[in-house]
């Protein structure tokens, strides 16, 4: 969940590293640090807090010569796992003798046993981190060959890692390795970059090499040599990034989240574009690499995901059951492999992950593959680990999502799941007539998103009324139930308000005891099956004096005179409503957080990509 950036070339490394870290700060912002090799010494600067603190430290304490002439370095922005977020625990970490230095993403599960052994050998440790244990282990084995020392150290490690290592007597070389935590190498002209996310290097090069689990690489300014953890040569192809540096900038928007909310019409066009066959009334999803017969023979669909992606999967469950007549389950990815799931060769396991690097979801698909299921991925990041390991699936093409709270990835996931349900349904019992109507509805999703965004000012006014509350309930039925979960998740993520999403029928089974004038309820009373019963639940909320913010379809008068505030999303077919309502709730959460003065793009304790279990 942390961010790594490294550079070896002919330019001053510190500026490149710090600017790269700024692009990755959404992956962790507890502390940050840089290490470079200069005059045969390792120079380190690190601070608690955000990357700007690190930039100020470098400017004040490092000479101009050091900043411009040190041409090899590694850096890190941290989301704390082992040890509290402070300067001592910040990366990079030196080995016991100060000859090598290391940055690390992931968790070393056997660090206590390793540390005890190293302490017995006379090592002393400055921090509480598992990373420092790994740094000492590399130093222990380092003689003259850095990659050999890294391979030897990693052979003793249990857990996950993405690492970059420097040695003071190897001023023109970086060694990197990965297992369960992403590493991407950027290939430039007489310079080489490395990062845990391509967003950090796209401004310098679009030519990249994605490392697989078990890969180690030696980087110099003009060469990348990839090997296995057993130190045997291996080849990895060079890919081309599909986005540019401008797409990872805020532009005129105050926050990335606000920008990404308003990018949704274009993101949805990209996700949908070229993927509908209106004549055959189906979707074109060639990445699934399945014949109609293979799709028809599937017995069950299982979606594995976490967080926002899981909420998208829950919407998809309704789609697959309603449109494709398929038994569909949505599983929390972190539990999947520990439950001994019953799956087989006629089951398709779909891993849903914006980043394509979510550790729990990756572990789930590996378990599914072991049990003989077909596996596929639904990811936004081209070349991500899940995309490569599944070998089949669908890319969102939503563009980079920098804000920690996912917005456009969610709506694009829902749109793609709807297209997948259409495709599988047409291979079963879904009629051509219904398929054509669905194609028309899906084609109009970007237009519906644009219309919803026009509600921004009205939603901001409503948000202002409720910015001071500390508890909110979201309720919905049918398609609106997962959207209620997602709306609550967005609000708690960025505003720090305690928010809970419930199926509206569950209101009477406990939550109603908490209703009072200080506890508003966001009720999703859209024109979907179950609406009348949701209106009954609104009556129950009002009877307990809870304020109600109702989301309804178009000019529907169903809650007129009943709700305290009404958000009227565009009139759409019911399968599209999860997208328009989600956008409205994203705006609601954003503006409440804005009024509360919260760190919207970098909410406390959260990181964008959860690459540890």
| Helix intervals (H) in 104-263 | 111-120, 130-141, 146-154, 256-262
Q: Which phi and psi (to 5°) does residue 291 adopt?
A: -80, 160
* Average per-residue pLDDT for the chain: 92
What is the pLDDT averaged over residues 46-62? 91
H-run or E-run covering 57 = helix 51-61
Q: Which residues pair with 166 in a beta bridge?
A: 101
- Domain membership flag for residue 50: yes
* Annotated catalytic residue within 2, 379, 412, 558: 2
Binning pLDDT at 50, 70 and 90, where does residue 44 land?
very high
H-run or E-run covering 512 = none
Question: Pairing between strand 100-105 and 374-379?
Answer: unpaired
Asked if residue 106 and residue 152 are part of one domain, the reply reads: yes
What does the alpha-carbon distance between residue 210 and residue 383 come to, in Å, rounded to a whole number? 7
Chain CA centroid to CA 437, Å = 33
Range of the domain at 435: 250-443
- Domain membership flag for residue 608: no
What does the alpha-carbon distance between residue 528 and residue 516 come to, in Å, rounded to a whole number? 28
Q: Which of 443, 472, 504 is the last residue of a domain?
A: 443
Contact 469, 592 (CB under 8 A): no
Q: Which of 443, 462, 478 is the last residue of a domain?
A: 443
Contact 187, 93 (CB under 8 A): no
Angle between helical axes of 577-595 and 480-495 (0-180°, round to 10): 20
What does the alpha-carbon distance between residue 308 and residue 489 come to, in Å, rounded to a whole number? 8
Residue 558 has pLDDT above 90, yes or no: yes
Question: Can you point out the beta strands (E) in 490-547?
Answer: 498-503, 521-524
Asked if residue 545 and residue 582 are part of one domain, the reply reads: yes
Instruction: Kindly state the tokens that stand for 558.
Output: 């169903």
CATH of the domain at 313: 3.40.50.10490
CATH of the domain at 145: 3.60.20.10
Asked if residue 436 and residue 476 are part of one domain, the reply reads: no
Asked if residue 451 and residue 434 are part of one domain, the reply reads: no
Asked if residue 450 and residue 322 are part of one domain, the reply reads: no
- Domain membership flag for residue 7: yes
Per-residue model confidence (pLDDT) at position 399: 86
Binning pLDDT at 50, 70 and 90, where does residue 190 land?
very high
Asked if residue 372 and residue 501 are part of one domain, the reply reads: no
Q: What is the pLDDT of residues 270-280, one digit of tens each?
A: 999 999 999 99
Helix, strand, coil percentages in the chain from 3-state DSSP, rounded to 5: 40, 20, 40
- Domain membership flag for residue 171: yes
Chain CA centroid to CA 22, Å = 17
Region at 438 (left for phi over 0; alpha for psi -120 to 50; beta for the rest)? alpha
Query: Three-class SS string for 156-193?
Result: CCCECEEEEEEECCCCCCEEEEEEECCCEEEECCCCEE
Contact 356, 390 (CB under 8 A): no
Asked if residue 282 and residue 237 are part of one domain, the reply reads: no
What does the alpha-carbon distance between residue 405 and residue 429 come to, in Å, rounded to a whole number? 38
Angle in degrees, CA 148, 152, 158, rounded to 5: 140
Per-residue model confidence (pLDDT) at position 251: 76
Binning pLDDT at 50, 70 and 90, where does residue 388 land?
confident
Residue 432 has pLDDT above 90, yes or no: yes
Contact 390, 349 (CB under 8 A): no
Tokens 């709306």 — which residue?
A: 487
Asked if residue 373 and residue 260 are part of one domain, the reply reads: yes
Q: Which phi and psi (to 5°) does residue 84 adopt?
A: -65, 160
Higher pLDDT, 86 or 178: 178
Question: Pairing between strand 521-524 and 471-476?
Answer: parallel
On the CB side of 51, how many CA atoms lie within 13 Å of its CA?
Answer: 26
Contact 278, 436 (CB under 8 A): yes
What is the pLDDT averaged over residues 202-213? 91
Contact 8, 221 (CB under 8 A): yes
Burial tier of 321 (Cβ tally within 10 Å: 0-12, 13-18, 19+): middle
Chain CA centroid to CA 353, Å = 7
Region at 307 (left for phi over 0; alpha for psi -120 to 50; beta for the rest)? left
- Domain membership flag for residue 609: no
Residue 1 has pLDDT above 90, yes or no: no
608 classed as catalytic: yes
- Domain membership flag for residue 229: yes
Binning pLDDT at 50, 70 and 90, where does residue 300 land?
very high
Per-residue model confidence (pLDDT) at position 28: 60
- Domain membership flag for residue 611: no
Instruction: Kindly state the tokens that stand for 309.
Output: 């992606």
Q: Sign of torsion, CA 395 178 1 482?
A: positive
Asked if residue 289 and residue 229 are part of one domain, the reply reads: no
Non-local CB neighbours of 304 within 8 Å, separated by 6+ positions: 313, 330, 331, 332, 333, 336, 349, 350, 351, 352, 361, 364, 365, 368
Q: Which residues pair with 107 in a beta bridge?
A: none
Asked if residue 509 and residue 360 are part of one domain, the reply reads: no
Residue 612 has pLDDT above 60, yes or no: no
Higher pLDDT, 199 or 579: 579
Q: Which residues pair with 179 in a beta bridge?
A: 161
3-state secondary structure of 233: strand
What is the pLDDT averaged over residues 357-364? 88
Q: What is the DSSP letter of 509?
A: G
* Annotated catalytic residue within 43, 179, 531, 608: 608
Asked if residue 349 and residue 239 are part of one domain, the reply reads: no
Number of structural domains the chain divides into: 3
Q: What is the pLDDT of residues 101-148, one digit of tens each?
A: 999 988 888 999 999 999 999 999 999 899 999 999 999 999 999 999
Q: Which of 378, 413, 443 is the last residue of a domain?
A: 443
What does the alpha-carbon distance between residue 191 and residue 203 come to, in Å, rounded to a whole number? 13
Non-local CB neighbours of 234 within 8 Å, separated by 6+ positions: 215, 226, 227, 228
531 classed as catalytic: no
Contact 347, 599 (CB under 8 A): no
- Domain membership flag for residue 605: no
Contact 167, 199 (CB under 8 A): no
- Extract long-range pairs of 39-48: CB within 8 Å, 24+ residues apart: 40/168, 40/169, 40/171, 41/168, 42/94, 42/98, 42/100, 42/101, 42/166, 42/168, 43/70, 44/92, 44/94, 44/101, 46/87, 46/90, 46/91, 46/92, 47/87, 47/90, 48/85, 48/86, 48/87, 48/90
Binning pLDDT at 50, 70 and 90, where does residue 613 land?
low
3-state secondary structure of 564: coil
Asked if residue 261 and residue 368 are part of one domain, the reply reads: yes
Q: What is the pLDDT of residues 305-335, one digit of tens each?
A: 999 999 999 999 999 999 999 999 999 999 9
């Amino acid at each position: 969940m942390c961010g790594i950036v490294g550079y070896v070339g002919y330019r001053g490394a510190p500026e490149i590293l710090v600017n790269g870290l700024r692009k990755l700060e959404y992956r962790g912002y507890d502390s940050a640090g840089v290490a470079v090799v200069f005059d045969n010494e390792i120079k380190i600067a690190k601070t608690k807090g955000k990357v700007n603190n690190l930039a100020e430290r470098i400017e004040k304490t490092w000479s101009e010569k050091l900043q411009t002439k040190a041409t090899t370095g590694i850096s890190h922005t941290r989301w704390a796992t082992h040890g509290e977020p402070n300067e001592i625990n910040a990366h990079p970490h030196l080995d016991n003798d100060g000859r090598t230095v290391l940055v690390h993403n992931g968790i070393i599960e056997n660090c206590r046993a390793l540390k005890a052994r190293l302490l017995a050998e006379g090592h002393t440790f400055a921090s509480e981190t598992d990373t420092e244990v790994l740094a000492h282990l590399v130093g222990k084995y380092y003689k003259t060959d850095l990659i050999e020392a890294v391979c030897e150290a990693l052979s003793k490690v249990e857990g996950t890692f993405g690492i970059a290592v420097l040695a003071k007597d190897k001023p023109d070389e970086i060694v990197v390795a990965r297992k369960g935590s992403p590493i991407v190498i950027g290939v430039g002209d007489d310079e080489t970059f490395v990062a845990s996310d391509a967003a950090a290097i796209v401004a310098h090069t679009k030519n990249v090499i994605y490392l697989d689990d078990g890969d180690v690489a030696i980087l110099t300014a003009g060469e990348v040599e990839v090997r296995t953890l057993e130190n045997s040569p291996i080849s990895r192809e060079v890919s081309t990034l599909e986005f540019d540096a401008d797409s990872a900038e805020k532009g005129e928007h105050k926050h990335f989240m606000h920008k990404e909310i308003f990018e949704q019409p274009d993101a949805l066009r990209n996700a949908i574009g070229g993927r509908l066959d209106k004549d055959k009334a189906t979707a074109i999803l060639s990445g699934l690499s399945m014949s109609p017969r293979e799709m028809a023979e599937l017995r069950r669909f299982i979606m594995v995901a976490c967080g926002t992606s899981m909420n998208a999967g829950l919407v998809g469950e309704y789609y697959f059951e309603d449109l494709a007549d398929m038994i569909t389950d949505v599983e929390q990815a972190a539990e999947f492999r520990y439950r001994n799931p019953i799956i087989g060769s006629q089951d398709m396991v779909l891993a849903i992950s914006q980043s394509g690097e979510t550790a729990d979801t990756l572990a789930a698909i590996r378990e599914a593959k072991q049990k003989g299921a077909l596996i596929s991925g639904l990811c936004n990041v081209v070349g991500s680990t899940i995309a490569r390991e599944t070998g089949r699936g669908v890319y969102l093409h939503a563009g980079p999502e920098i804000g920690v709270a996912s917005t456009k990835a969610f709506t694009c996931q829902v749109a793609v799941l709807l297209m997948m349900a259409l495709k599988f349904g047409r291979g079963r019992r879904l009629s051509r007539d219904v398929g054509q109507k669905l194609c028309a509805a899906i084609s109009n999703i970007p237009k519906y998103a644009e219309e919803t965004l026009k509600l921004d000012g009205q939603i901001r006014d409503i948000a202002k009324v409720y910015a001071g509350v500390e508890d909110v309930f979201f309720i919905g039925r049918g398609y609106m139930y997962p959207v209620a979960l997602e709306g609550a998740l967005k609000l708690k993520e960025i505003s720090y308000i305690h928010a809970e999403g419930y199926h509206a029928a569950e209101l009477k089974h406990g939550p109603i005891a908490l209703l009072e004038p200080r506890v508003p309820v966001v009720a999703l009373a859209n024109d979907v099956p179950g609406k009348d019963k949701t209106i009954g639940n609104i009556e129950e909320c009002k009877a307990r004096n809870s304020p109600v913010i109702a989301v309804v379809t178009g000019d529907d008068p169903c809650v007129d005179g009943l709700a305290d505030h009404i958000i009227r999303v565009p009139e759409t077919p019911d399968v599209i409503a999860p997208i328009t309502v989600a956008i409205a709730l994203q705006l609601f959460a954003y503006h409440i957080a804005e009024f509360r003065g919260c760190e919207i793009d970098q909410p406390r304790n959260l990181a964008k990509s959860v690459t540890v279990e």
